[in-house]
Amino acid sequence: MKKKSITASEFDEKFELGEDLTPYLDLEKSQRPGLKQHRVSVDFPNWMVKALDKEAERLGITKQSVIKFWLSEKIKDHSFSAK
């Protein structure tokens, strides 16, 4: 099914009025920017892995999720900017 076409100003106006914009969007090709994954290999000392495992078990989440959450919080706290 071909999507309806409107101008950017018409789209903005409909958005501001709270109208449904889905007829004008191609949701099959939509993406959230900045969420592309990149694999990084990091070596941790055994004591740190054990501490991460303990925290992950306490929270009921994976070790990877603990690491991601803690890193994201630290980055937010220090307002690091991507260069």
Please tell me the total count of domains within the chain. 2
For residues 23 and 39, state if they share a domain.
no
Do 40 and 67 have their domain in common? yes
At residue 5 the predicted structure's pLDDT band, cuts being 50, 70 and 90, is confident
Which is nearest to 61 in space by CA: 28, 70, 74?
A: 70
- Tell whether pTM > 0.95: no
Q: Quick one: 47 and 82 in the same domain?
A: yes
Q: Answer left, alpha or beta for residue 37, where phi above 0 means left and psi between -120 and 50 means alpha.
A: beta
24 with 52, same domain: the answer is no
* pLDDT at position 29: 84
Q: Which range marks the domain in which residue 6 is found?
A: 1-30
Shared domain check, 59 and 37: yes
In this predicted structure, what is the pLDDT of residue 36?
85
Q: Do residues 40 and 18 share a domain?
A: no
Whole-number Å distance between alpha carbons of 14 and 12? 5
Structure tokens of 31?
């993406």
Residues 18 and 42 in one domain: no
What CATH code is carried by the domain that includes residue 59? 1.10.1220.10
When pLDDT is averaged across residues 3-10 and rounded to a whole number, the result is: 85
